[in-house]
Structure 1
Amino acid sequence: MYSDRALVIGAGFAGLLAARVLSESYGDVVLVERDQIPADAGHRSGVPQAHHPHALLARGAEVLEGLFSGLGAELRAAGAVQADLGSDFASRAPAGWAPRDPIGLSVLSTTRVTIERIIRRRVLKLPNVSLVDGVTVDGLLHDRGTVTGVHGRRSGEPFTDYADLVVDASGRTSKLVSWLAEFGVHCPAPMIVNGHLAYTSRLYHVNHDLRLGWKTAYEITHAPTTRRGGAVSSVDGDLWFVTLFGAGGDIAPTDDDGFLAYATTLECQDIAEIIKTATPASPIHRATNLRSRWNRFHKVPNWPRGLLALGDSVVSLNPVYGHGMTLAALNCAELRTLLQEHDLAKEPLVFQRAIARTARIPWMSATTTDLGWSQKKPPRGTRLMQWYARRLFEVIPGNPQVYRAFLRVSQMVDHPVALLRPAVLWTVLTGSRPRARQR
């Protein structure tokens, strides 16, 4: 241990993972959280997205298992549903239904509340990690280009805490840009892409009388013509999470009749059948203004020592695509690797540049899709990727090889270049499978 104390702003998913990693290099790690967190914490005001499904991609699950041995088994014991992405998913693209062949790549389906509660319990059992909740952080303490702690309020009283390293993991509502400006560190304008998407969600108790041949079903929106979509997944043992998507100005209603009427317009009629026959387990919640934002901290030449930022504080992606938790996990995996070779309190830009490289592919994936709904003409490179994506979705029905390649890329297991391998490329461009000699 080359230093004594680290402080993490935010005890959500990204903050908990950061504390787990920092506990290996710092003698004392303190999580500072705005919300009050009881031992059996449910939905927190600081995580409004918890009312909607959260996807932990296959790559993210792999990283988490490396940080928390046996986590997958613990999640399954808590009711998480394991599903093969091929055989257990009924997936509808605009051109038709995807193949239902097993591909040997599975995911665990659970709620954000459950996964965060289990990880929090694990992290707070570490002897050198502690939590201080109910704290509103108002700014950073600093001295000659070095961040030395935070100041704010707790229960109406002034709050101050000092640390050798401060990590901002406060998420989409992070105020780090304005905090830095207070002592003369100015960040470039963030990149923002508005997907003009909305989703509306509700939990239902599983109706065991409905005999459905899947564990998750979903129907995607696709620019510029398919404005409505939906998804239903089995979570936490005995619940269904139903979500209705809207794009290009369409938004699912939040009243019972309107919610059902919207679902009946989908090709996947199982979703409407669940809404008609299952018992609601929650109110209907809606999220709008689903945009992606990238704070380019890696481009700040006078970035202060003693400060790191990760997770949604840096790159917050449109949550429809399910990259958020996996990207946060990858950030913390990078943190763990770099701490073995660097004193990141003295070399913080090494970390900020590393996670910027990690963000490029998920950023490209999310924003390329969202720009399809924009009224402005996107750059030529983006138009080419959108054209290829449309061709890809046209050939997925009835083509297990292409669908398998797509799933492995979408789960961040394979690099997107896998979608340009000769066999996949030929099928996408011609609509037919290559013969042996052509391959």
Structure 2
Amino acid sequence: MSFGRAVVIGGSISGLLSAAALSETFDAVTIVERDELPHGPEHRRGVPQGLQVHALLAVGQEAMEDLLRGLGEDFQAAGGVVVDSPADLAVYTAQGWSGRVESEARVVCMRRPALEWVIRRRVAELPNVEIVKATAAGLIGTDDAGRVTGVTLRGSAAASISADLVVDASGRSSRAGAWLENLGYDKPREVELRSFIGYATVPVRLPEDALPEGVKGVLAHPHPGNPQGAAVVPCDNGLYLVAGLGMVHADPPSDREEFLAHLDKAPSPLVGEIARKAEFLAPVETYRMPGSRRRLWEELERMPEGFVLVGDAVMSFNPLYGQGMSVAAVEARLMRDVVRDSAGERTGLASRIQRSFKDTIDTVFGMVVNIDGLYDDAELLGVDRPSAEAVTAGRYLSQLATEDVETCLAQKYAAHYFSADKVRSQSIQDKLREWIASGREVTHTDPRCIPEIMRR
């Protein structure tokens, strides 16, 4: 059984994927987007982080492919590069070099404007989806405010649009809390981890011998002992992105020489050395954000029927970990499945959709807290810092993962598939106890010497 009309507020990747998800069961889906959308792979104003490094994780690729068949091929046809993250990317952390092993944890490396353009083009081709340029100004409710029935608009010939389901994909700056207050509802509880993140990125062309042999990118992650990081990764059409990364106000600058100096201070000097061989193709673009924030919509005892929030309107992420697009894809697929299983029943549909996101968001937010919560200067609002026991266990696990194939893969899969089940396996727990008892030390700690791929 199909529904009538769904309205999606925001033409972001989250909004586009939500529209694709709902197009299966709704007669019509309207995306309301305030920006003038480009007709090609161009940066748009509504994505301030759009010129920074992005990564599409394995779970995000699977979810997107499930929603839009053949999308992975479209990414590659548009110049995107697929890499085996644990094998192809050399990652230097507080514990030294992460283990390198061949895996199924693939990452799509592609500049955000190109990736978004590929998705938008596919969604716009769906016969029951339309994109309307307008600004969503508020929600329309029934007389008793028990159900959302549409959206008021600005900048459009129509003053409003009616809907059987409204999805807010308007991002971190969502006005949903105020809109719901106008209908007599409470705002949700918010928790936040302010780790004060800075990015600076530039597209470059590299000579053939610029990268160390056997790797396609190098990442030197910031950590509490050194909040300045750096990365060089492939993007699309034979180009690379060089990025300076900063935590707790260690913001990389836009001036080229100062940018290079920031790269030099990263835990491994390799990215700075590679960047000096590069041809810079554009100015260095900077971006700053306070951190990760979660709005717990699913906790509210009262919510109107017919209204769902997705993407950064629910949780906005530290972009360093590349989770945002993939979480949005997982949420869209979950929404599709809940609607598909509802057999056309509207009552309780929105709350079932909202609750279906909880496990994924709990897992991802827990990962962020366990990393960013280690910085003394990070501000945790409504959430506890990791316990001493958790910090110690995480440190030893990362040490073990530098040398043990099973642990390395389990840790990578936890990050790529948002599930720590493999990390909790009895086999790894036994190895972890043995590592701790033996007093072993990590051997791959030379910041210039990338380890070979481990064999299974």
Work out whether the TM-score is over 0.5: yes
Residue 453 (structure 2) aligns with: none
CA shift in 2, pair 1:53/1:281, >3 Å: same
State the Cα distance separating 1:221 from its structure 2 match. Answer: 1.9
Moved more, 421-430 or 52-61: 421-430
TM-score (ref. length: structure 2)? 0.88
State the Cα distance separating 1:47 from its structure 2 match. Answer: 0.8
From 411, 420, 429, give the equivalent of 1:416. 420
| Alpha-carbon contact 1:18-1:332 (below 8 Å) kept | yes
| Alpha-carbon contact 2:17-2:332 (below 8 Å) kept | yes
1:293-332 correspondence runs (5 A)? 293-332=293-332
Please give the secondary structure, in 2, of the residue aligned with 1:373: coil
Q: Please give the alpha-carbon distance, in whole angstroms, between the structure 2 residues aligned to 1:111 and 1:100.
A: 25
Which residue identity is paired with 2:73?
A
Please give the secondary structure, in 2, of the residue aligned with 1:392: helix
| CA displacement, residues 244-299 of structure 1 (integer Å, 9 cap, x when unaligned) | 11223422222111101111223433311332121222322222234111111112
Q: Please give the alpha-carbon distance, in whole angstroms, between the structure 2 residues aligned to 1:282 and 1:425.
A: 47
1:356-435 correspondence runs (5 A)? 356-375=358-377, 379=384, 382-412=387-417, 415-431=419-435
Show structure 2 runs of 5+ residues with no match. 439-456
Q: Please give the alpha-carbon distance, in whole angstroms, between the structure 2 residues aligned to 1:14 and 1:309.
A: 10
From 334, 351, 357, give the equivalent of 1:349. 351
Moved more, 116-125 or 93-102: 93-102
CA shift in 2, pair 1:393/1:18, >3 Å: same
Alignment: residue pair count: 430
| Alpha-carbon contact 1:391-1:429 (below 8 Å) kept | no
Which residue identity is paired with 1:409?
A
State the Cα distance separating 1:139 from its structure 2 match. Answer: 0.8
Residue 193 (structure 1) aligns with: 193
CA shift in 2, pair 1:283/1:297, >3 Å: same
Which residue identity is paired with 2:396?
R
Residue 17 (structure 1) aligns with: 17
1:248 aligns with 2:248: yes
CA shift in 2, pair 1:344/1:94, >3 Å: farther
Q: Please give the alpha-carbon distance, in whole angstroms, between the structure 2 residues aligned to 1:285 and 1:314.
A: 27
| Alpha-carbon contact 1:426-1:433 (below 8 Å) kept | no
Please give the secondary structure, in 2, of the residue aligned with 1:405: helix
| Alpha-carbon contact 1:65-1:72 (below 8 Å) kept | yes
| Alpha-carbon contact 1:427-1:433 (below 8 Å) kept | no
Residue 447 (structure 2) aligns with: none
Q: Please give the alpha-carbon distance, in whole angstroms, between the structure 2 residues aligned to 1:22 and 1:169.
A: 13
Please give the secondary structure, in 1, of the residue aligned with 2:361: helix
Residue 444 (structure 2) aligns with: none
How large is the RMSD of aligned CA atoms in angstroms?
A: 2.2
Which residue identity is paired with 1:89?
L
Q: Please give the alpha-carbon distance, in whole angstroms, between the structure 2 residues aligned to 1:132 and 1:353.
A: 29
| Alpha-carbon contact 1:189-1:295 (below 8 Å) kept | yes
State the Cα distance separating 1:45 from its structure 2 match. Answer: 1.1
Q: Please give the alpha-carbon distance, in whole angstroms, between the structure 2 residues aligned to 1:206 and 1:162.
A: 52
Please give the secondary structure, in 1, of the residue aligned with 2:312: helix
Residue 44 (structure 1) aligns with: 44
CA shift in 2, pair 1:275/1:401, >3 Å: same
Moved more, 60-69 or 206-215: 206-215
Residue 437 (structure 1) aligns with: none
TM-score (ref. length: structure 1)? 0.92
State the Cα distance separating 1:203 from its structure 2 match. Answer: 1.4
1:73 aligns with 2:78: no
Residue 151 (structure 2) aligns with: 150
Show structure 1 runs of 5+ residues with no match. 435-439
CA shift in 2, pair 1:305/1:57, >3 Å: same
| Alpha-carbon contact 2:200-2:244 (below 8 Å) kept | yes
| Alpha-carbon contact 1:196-1:370 (below 8 Å) kept | no
State the Cα distance separating 1:208 from its structure 2 match. Answer: 3.0
